C-alpha cells in the first residue's frame, strides 16, 4: 500500500513528509493505523545526529498510539480493531531480561537503531524503491506502519489514543526515573533537572512516591511554572541556582535523588548534578547526550565516587517493563492520580512535524503531539 511518513534523508537534517510504499505485515507483524504520536527529544537526537542512525533514510517516532488494521501470519493475542501503544524496546519474552521482569532491557533492544525489522528486511520504501529504516523498530511518524507484535502493548479502549500515546515514552520514562531508578521514598528531597516531556513526569513520579520537596531546574520560565502545576514544590533556573535551597532543606547535605533529563546531557552538567547529590544518594541519568562527547565526567575520580558512597544510576525506559508499566500508568490516570491531558500543550498535523520540533527546542511545549486526523 501507499501511505505518508516523515522521512529523514540525512543527519543533521529535517523531516520530509512524503508518500512511501509499505509492504504487508509479515510473520508475527501487524499493520497499524496511527492515531497520535508524541514528539520526544530522542527523535530530535536522531535528526541532529547526536544519536547516529545506522540506516538512512529513516522514519523515527516512538511515542505512538494506533489501531490494529491487519494481522500477519502467526500473530497471537491481538485482533483487528485493538488499540495499541508502541514500545521502543521489543519484548521477546524469552531472554534473561524479559524472564526476570526487566523487559526494558530485552536483548532485542540491541537491534533498535539498525533500522530493519527483526528478520533483517525492511517494510517501508521510498517511491523510487529504496529501503526506509524505522527507529526503535517502530517509526510512528507515519499514517500507517507495520510493527512486530513484540513492539506493541495492547490497551483498553476507554482512554483516547491522543492522550494515551504519552505513556508510550515520556510518562513511563519520567515516572519510572523517579519511582524505580531513583527509588524515591516518602520525605525525600528530589531535584529534577530539565522539566520537558520526560522531566515533568519524573516530577509526577516523585510526587506519587511521597517526596517532601520536589525541585525543578529549567531555564525556561513557562517550564518552571508548569512544573509547579504537576507537583514540584519549587522551581529554579539551573542546578546551581537550586543549590542554596537544597542545602537549606537538607541541613547542607544535598538532594536524596537527582534526576537528569534535559534535552541534551553534557559532561559538565553530569558533574554538576553529581555534586548536588548527598552522601549515599542517587544520581539518575535518563537524558541522552552526544555520542561524540568524551567519556569523562569532570570532577569525578575514584575518591569522589567511593568516599561519599553515591550511586550513579542509568535508566532506560524508566527501568520499567512496558507491558507492565503502560497499563499501570493508565490505571493511575483513571484513578485521578496521574495527569495526562495537560501534558499535551500543542497538537500538529504530520505536515507540521518540523514546526513541532522547533517548538520543542524553543521550550514552548511540555509535549507536542501529532494528530494524524488533523
Ligand atoms: N533514557 C531513556 O529511556 C529516554 C527516553 C526518552 C527520552 N530520553 C531523553 O531524555 C531527555 C529529555 O527528553 P524530553 O523529550 O523531555 O526533552 P524536552 O526537550 O521536552 O525537555 C528538555 C528540557 O530540558 C530543559 N533544559 C535544557 N538544558 C537544561 C539545563 N542545562 N538545565 C536544566 N534544564 C535544561 C529544557 O528547557 C526543556 O524543558 C532527552 O535527552 C531524551 O533523548 C531518554
Ligand atoms: Zn522518547
Ligand atoms: Zn527479551
Express each pLDDT in 198-231 by its tens digit: 999 999 999 999 999 999 999 999 999 999 999 9
Asked if residues 151 and 352 have their Cβ atoms less than 8 Å apart, the reply is: no
Q: What pLDDT score does 364 carry? A: 97
pTM attached to this predicted model: 0.97
Question: Grid coordinates standing for 244?
Answer: 542554596
Q: Is the CATH number of domain 174-316 3.40.50.720? A: yes
Whether omega before 219 lies within 30 degrees of 0, making that bond cis, reads: no
Q: What pLDDT score does 299 carry? A: 74
Of the residues 42, 87, 177, 321, only one is catalytic, namely 42
Which ligand 1 atom is the nearest neighbour of the CA of 237? Answer: 33
d(CA 66, CA 84): 6
pLDDT tens, 312-356?
999 999 999 999 999 999 999 999 999 999 999 999 999 999 999
Residues 6+ apart with CB under 8 A from 358: none
Q: What pLDDT score does 294 carry? A: 80
CB atoms within 10 A of CB 277: 23
d(CA 153, CA 182): 25
d(CA 310, CA 148): 40
Q: What pLDDT score does 268 carry? A: 92
State yes or no: is 40 an active-site residue: yes
d(CA 113, CA 125): 17
Cα-to-centroid distance, 166 and ligand 1 (Å): 15
Residues pairing with 369 in the sheet: 38, 347
Cα-to-centroid distance, 214 and ligand 1 (Å): 17
Asked if residues 188 and 233 have their Cβ atoms less than 8 Å apart, the reply is: no
Residues 6+ apart with CB under 8 A from 160: none
Of the residues 87, 169, 261, 321, only one is catalytic, namely 169
CB atoms within 10 A of CB 295: 5
CATH class of 2-168+339-371: alpha beta
* Domain edges within the chain: 2-168+339-371, 174-316
Query: Chunked in runs of 10, what are the mean pLDDT values of the chain (374 residues)?
Result: 98 98 98 98 95 95 98 97 98 96 96 94 97 98 98 98 98 98 98 98 98 98 98 98 98 98 94 96 96 77 90 97 97 98 98 98 97 94
d(CA 144, CA 4): 8
Which ligand 1 atom is the nearest neighbour of the CA of 196? Answer: 21
Asked if residues 348 and 141 have their Cβ atoms less than 8 Å apart, the reply is: no
d(CA 3, CA 283): 43
Cα-to-centroid distance, 294 and ligand 3 (Å): 31
- Looking from the CA of 133 toward its CB, the CA atoms found within 13 Å total 21
Asked if residues 168 and 42 have their Cβ atoms less than 8 Å apart, the reply is: no
Residue identifier of the C-alpha nearest atom 9 of ligand 1: 287
Q: What pLDDT score does 338 carry? A: 98
Q: What pLDDT score does 72 carry? A: 98
SS (H, E, C) the chain: CEEEEEEECCCCCCEEEEEEEECCCCCCEEEEEEEEEECCHHHHHHHHCCCCCCCCCEECCCEEEEEEEEECCCCCCCCCCCEEEECCCCCCCCCHHHHCCCHHHCHHHHHCCCCCCCCCCCCEEECCCCEEEEHHHCCCCECEEEEEHHHEEEECCCCCHHHHHHHHCHHHHHHHHHHHHCCCCCCCEEEEECCCCCHHHHHHHHHHCCCCEEEEECCCHHHHHHHHHCCCCEEECCHHHHHHHHHHHCCCCCEEEEEECCCCECHHHHHHHHHCEEEEEEEEECCCECCCCCCCCCCCCHHHHHCCCCEEEECCHHHCCHHHHHHHHHHHHHCCCCCCHHHEEEEECHHHHHHHHHHHHCCCCCEEEEECCC
Q: What is the distance, to the nearest Å, from the Cα of residue 154 to the centroid of all Cα atoms in its chain?
A: 18
- Ligand 1 neighbour 196 (Cβ under 6 A): yes
Asked if residues 182 and 282 have their Cβ atoms less than 8 Å apart, the reply is: yes
Asked if residues 35 and 66 have their Cβ atoms less than 8 Å apart, the reply is: yes
Amino acid at each position: 500500500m501507499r501511505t505518508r511518513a516523515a522521512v529523514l534523508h540525512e543527519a543533521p537534517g529535517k523531516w520530509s513528509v512524503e508518500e512511501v510504499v509499505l509492504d504487508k505485515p509479515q510473520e508475527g507483524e501487524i499493520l497499524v493505523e496511527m492515531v497520535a504520536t508524541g514528539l520526544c527529544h530522542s527523535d530530535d537526537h536522531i535528526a541532529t545526529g547526536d544519536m547516529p542512525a545506522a540506516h538512512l533514510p529513516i522514519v523515527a517516532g516512538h511515542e505512538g498510539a494506533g489501531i490494529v488494521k491487519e494481522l500477519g501470519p502467526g500473530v497471537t493475542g491481538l485482533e483487528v480493531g485493538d488499540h495499541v501503544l508502541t514500545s521502543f524496546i521489543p519484548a521477546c519474552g524469552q531472554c534473561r531480561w524479559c524472564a526476570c521482569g526487566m523487559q526494558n532491557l530485552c536483548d532485542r533492544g540491541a537491534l533498535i537503531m539498525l533500522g530493519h525489522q527483526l528478520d533483517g528486511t525492511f517494510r517501508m520504501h521510498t517511491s523510487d524503491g529504496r529501503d526506509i529504516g524505522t527507529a526503535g523498530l517502530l517509526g510512528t511518524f507515519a499514517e500507517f506502519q507495520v510493527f512486530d507484535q513484540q513492539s506493541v502493548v495492547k490497551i483498553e479502549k476507554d482512554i483516547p489514543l491522543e492522550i494515551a500515546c504519552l505513556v508510550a515514552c515520556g510518562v513511563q520514562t519520567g515516572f519510572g526515573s523517579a519511582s524505580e531508578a531513583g527509588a524515591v521514598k516518602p520525605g525525600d528531597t528530589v531535584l529534577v533537572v530539565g522539566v520537558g516531556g520526560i522531566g515533568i513526569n519524573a516530577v509526577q513520579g516523585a510526587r506519587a512516591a511521597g517526596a517532601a520537596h520536589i525541585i525543578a531546574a529549567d531555564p525556561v520560565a513557562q517550564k518552571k511554572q508548569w512544573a509547579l502545576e504537576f507537583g514540584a514544590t519549587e522551581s529554579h533556573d539551573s542546578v546551581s541556582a537550586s543549590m542554596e535551597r537544597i542545602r537549606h532543606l537538607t541541613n547542607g547535605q544535598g538532594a536524596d535523588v537527582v534526576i537528569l533529563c534535559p534535552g541534551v546531557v553534557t559532561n559538565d552538567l553530569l558533574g554538576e548534578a553529581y555534586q548536588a547529590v548527598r552522601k549515599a544518594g542517587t544520581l539518575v541519568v535518563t537524558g541522552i547526550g552526544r555520542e561524540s562527547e568524551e567519556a569523562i565526567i569532570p570532577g569525578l575520580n575514584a575518591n569522589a565516587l567511593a568516599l561519599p558512597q553515591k550511586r550513579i544510576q542509568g535508566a532506560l525506559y524508566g527501568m520499567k517493563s512496558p507491558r507492565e508499566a503502560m497499563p499501570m500508568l493508565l490505571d493511575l490516570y483513571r484513578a485521578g492520580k496521574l495527569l495526562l491531558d495537560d501534558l499535551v500543550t500543542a497538537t500538529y498535523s504530520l505536515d507540521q512535524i518540523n514546526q513541532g520540533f522547533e517548538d520543542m527546542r524553543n521550550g514552548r511545549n511540555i509535549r507536542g503531539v501529532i494528530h494524524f486526523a488533523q
